Amino acid sequence: MTQDHPLAVLDWRDNGTPVSKQFEDPYFSLEDGLAETRHVFLAGNDLPGRFGGFFHIGELGFGTGLNFLATWAAWVKDGSRGTLKFSSFEAYPMALEDMERALGFFPAVAEYAEKLLAQWAGPGIMRFGEAVTLEVIGGDVRDTLGPWDGRVDAWYLDGFSPAKNPEMWGADVMAKVGKHTFQQGTVATYTAAGFVRRALEDAGFDMARAEGFGRKRHMSVGRML
């Protein structure tokens, strides 16, 4: 495991959901984490329809890796078109055994989880065959996103809730998200918080509210002008 980054410290709810002790917030929806990922991050970025060529996704908050696995599975189901790169920023990487336990809830992506767990040793670059690359950038995104040299087609903004994790949603971070997005690139997040939407607008995105998942009425989506 990585020496440089503090590990995630978890609590497990009775229903098995992992909750961050650092942020007192669950990693995924108590209702159906996988369905939420598909609704918010995949559909919110018009995926899998946009796959093909070299497609690069950026994520704030790698957590359990569920979003990556759901994306990889959707890319395969859609015909494995082009190549997929997934770059995710994470300050508190999970210990292997915690990740394994959390991902055990999602048999639908078990074959992909097994491959991730076989390589997981914290932040770094992991390759899955010729066409799928995962890059996990360790450290606080406020420090790591600026100097990062990537540019993406779609962003998944998946920090803990803005109320509990305001550092991850600040205007400075959102401005950097904008700078690392191709023209016509997109962004999606489960939050409809006005300050996040405004910060993304200031970062250059044309933002809109969309129907949220489950009990959440709204979420936010945007396109870089």
Nearer to ligand SAM, 181 or 191 (CB): 191
Nearer to ligand SAM, 31 or 206 (CB): 31
- Decide: residue 115, CB within 10 A, 0-12 exposed, 13-18 middle, 19+ buried: middle
> What distance, in Å, lies between the first and last C-alpha atoms of the chain?
40
CB of 155 to ligand SAM, least distance (A): 12
Those residues whose C-beta lies under 8 Å from the C-beta of residue 71, and which sit 6 or more positions away, are: 37, 41, 42, 47, 57, 84, 86
Nearer to ligand SAM, 28 or 75 (CB): 28
Q: Is 223 left (phi over 0), alpha (psi -120 to 50) or beta?
A: beta
Instruction: Please report, as ranges, the residues that interact with ligand SAM according to CB under 6 A.
Output: 8, 27-28, 61-67, 89-92, 140-142, 158-160, 165, 167-168
Cα gap 155→58, rounded to integer Å = 5
- Give the dihedral sign, CA 41/45/47/50: negative
Continuous H helices in 38-186: 66-77, 96-103, 110-119, 141-144, 171-179
CB of 77 to ligand SAM, least distance (A): 18
Nearer to ligand SAM, 59 or 153 (CB): 59
CB of 183 to ligand SAM, least distance (A): 25
CB of 169 to ligand SAM, least distance (A): 9
What residue type is assigned to position 224 of the chain? Answer: M
Nearer to ligand SAM, 64 or 186 (CB): 64
CB of 100 to ligand SAM, least distance (A): 13
